[in-house]
Amino acid sequence: MTDISPPPQTAAGTPLRLNTDQVFLRTTGAPLIAGNSLRILKDAKENYPAWHEAIGNAREKIFFENYIIGNDEIGYALIDALTHAARRGVRVFLIYDWLGTHVRSSMWEPLVHAGGQIRCFNPFELSSPLGWLSRNHRKSVCVDGKVAFVTGLCASARWMGDPKRGIEPWRDTGVELRGPAISEVEAAFAQVWETTGDPLPDDVFTAPETITPEGDIAASVVATAPSIASLYRLDQLIATAARRTLYLTDAYFVGVAPYVQALRAAAMDGVDVRLLIPGSSDIPWLVPVTRAGYRPLLEAGVRIFEWNGSMLHAKTAVADGRWSRVGSSNLNIASWMGNYELDVAVDDATFGKALHEMYLEDLGNATEIVLSPHNRVRASEKVPHRRRWTSMRTGGSASRAAAGALRIGNSVSAALTERRVLVPAEAGVMAKVGAVLVALAVAGLAYPEILAIPIGILAGWIGLALLARAMRLRRSHRSEAEEGEKELPEPIDQTAAELGRARKHDA
């Protein structure tokens, strides 16, 4: 963690001590744990073999959690490895996300028959019309309390690219973790498992005191849950505390005003702030939404780079070559506030230097975006043709849609209320939204039922869902009250009579 000097003074003049452990704990709710070793794993070619090696060596238990498990050779190979482990007597627990993962039910059968336990996170329910927006976006593997992986990669062939079509592998980053911090990764798994049904027994998990130190790295496992915003607070803190450099990589950047202001303030204070994001995306419509936020950052001195490969999916940060973060969280409101996310935050100069150097290496395959003399956003040089990654399915669209909607809403509300100065890059967003609203107005005036029927259906659906939820809560409260009455002590008159008899006996 970057030191802040001179130290602030109390009213009595005594310096306040800013303790790294204290800062991590208060900001994220996650302790900074010493005694770990960490290894950076780059792309699918390093991550997938490491996962399979750990699963193949498992003897006691495996916790596997991922947003997308592909209906392809990568997904099937993973399930096959877990199935073989279960047949050896290893206890296998797997969580996948309902929205991200779309596979045949037959895919799970071998693992279930071998004794593995599988749960689906947050499947769609009629009683919760908007509940599906909250997703389990975490990606982790824990084996025997000895090794854990926290990463941005899903278990899908999309990360391998497609050589036949000239599509390069996706750029992504994960870490291999050994040491006492593994217990926090297991605890994060337990948190999500419990949201899907009965919790696992305590004896399944590794007691922290039984995990021997494996190195000298201090790490914090930041397990973000909806509405908690622990990682958002940490990202804000690091943007504020960085003194020399702040290098960010993000797959779906949609900056909210407070975080953008933190980056601008750091850059204007002389910090070398750089942002590496995809030049082409698996969600093509999100690219112009992201680019709409370039100008305020560029004007403050933030350097922005667009990746020239097929897809940049990594989520990393490194400040002053010392503090660093790797995991599943994107720099947008969906990750910060809406999803279950998992990241490892590290306070170590050696690890930070390695991530810093990897970042500079990645910039060799990126194009810098600059402001022209006419104050227009443009690429700094001619960019080679970018082949867009296309897919019939976009497994993370709900979260990114929420982030994009927030960005669009921010621009539109600013235009209507004049609460901030708009930039030319936002003109396209406002023009599209304006055209859609005008079209809806014309259609609604000409054919009122076009709007009335969908709105009526939606209102009725939400109303019925709320009524059903209220009835369930009342029934639950009533049954709890009845159970409480069964457990009440004997009636007061009987107790009083027994007390009277006891007094006579004492006399």
Least confident span in 30-34, 259-263, 296-300, 475-479: 475-479
Q: How far is CA 477 from the centre of its chain?
A: 34
What's the pLDDT at 483? 67
- The residues facing 96 across adjacent strands are 66, 120
Res. 170 pLDDT band, cuts 50 70 90? very high
Domain locations in the chain as residue ranges: 20-371, 449-506
d(Cα 179, Cα 183) in Å, to the nearest integer? 9
Burial state string for 241-256 with b = 16 or more CB within 10 A and e = fewer than 16: bbeebbbbbbbbbbbb
Least confident span in 38-42, 242-246, 297-301, 428-432: 428-432
Axis-axis angle for helices 427-446, 448-486 (nearest 10): 100
d(Cα 184, Cα 400) in Å, to the nearest integer? 27
More confident residue, 390 or 443: 443
What's the pLDDT at 505? 45
Tens digit of pLDDT for each residue in 300-336? 999 999 999 999 999 999 999 999 999 999 999 889 9
What's the pLDDT at 25? 78
Res. 426 pLDDT band, cuts 50 70 90? low
Please state, for a pLDDT cut of 70, what percent of the chain lies above it.
Answer: 78
Tens digit of pLDDT for each residue in 69-101? 999 999 999 999 999 999 999 999 999 999 999
pTM (predicted TM-score):
0.77
What would you report as the CA-atom Rg of the chain, rounded to the nearest whole angstrom? 26
**pLDDT, the chain, mean:** 83
Question: Per residue, what are the HEC states of 315-338?
Answer: CEEEECCCEEEEECCCCCHHHHHH
What's the pLDDT at 372? 76
**Given a cut of 90, is residue 263 above it in pLDDT?**
yes
What's the pLDDT at 268? 97
d(Cα 66, Cα 103) in Å, to the nearest integer? 13
Which CATH topology does 20-371 take? Answer: Endonuclease; Chain A (3.30.870)
**Given a cut of 60, is residue 27 above it in pLDDT?**
yes
